[in-house]
Amino acid sequence: MAQSVAQPTSTPTAVLAKLPIGAIAPWAVFFGILMLVLIYFVGAEQGATSLLSGSTVHEWLHDGRHLLGFPCH
């Protein structure tokens, strides 16, 4: 009678993909500029630093200002 020998099982290992910095840099710059513009409009678009006349931007972002801790009045 032949004995069966258990074969060792191998577990697959994850391989990280190489992502060149040249592929990430344009997106990082784009999102960085976008975030700066959003922070400007939420935090500073009123009064002396206003780029747009009137209070339309202020009113649209009013609750967001308070949520993020920016005083506005």
User: What is the secondary structure of 1-59 as a DSSP string?
Assistant: -PPP-PPPP------PPP--HHHHHHHHHHHHHHHHHHHHHHHT-SGGG-SSSSSHHHH
Q: What is the pLDDT of residue 13?
A: 86
Cβ–Cβ < 8 Å for 43, 68: yes
pLDDT confidence of residue 70 = 78
Considering just the CA atoms, what is the radius of gyration of the chain in Å? 27
Question: pLDDT value at position 34?
Answer: 96
Quick check: 72 and 58 in contact, CB under 8 A? yes
* pLDDT tens over the chain, length 73 residues: 566 666 767 788 888 888 888 989 999 999 999 999 888 877 777 767 777 777 787 788 888 888 888 777 6
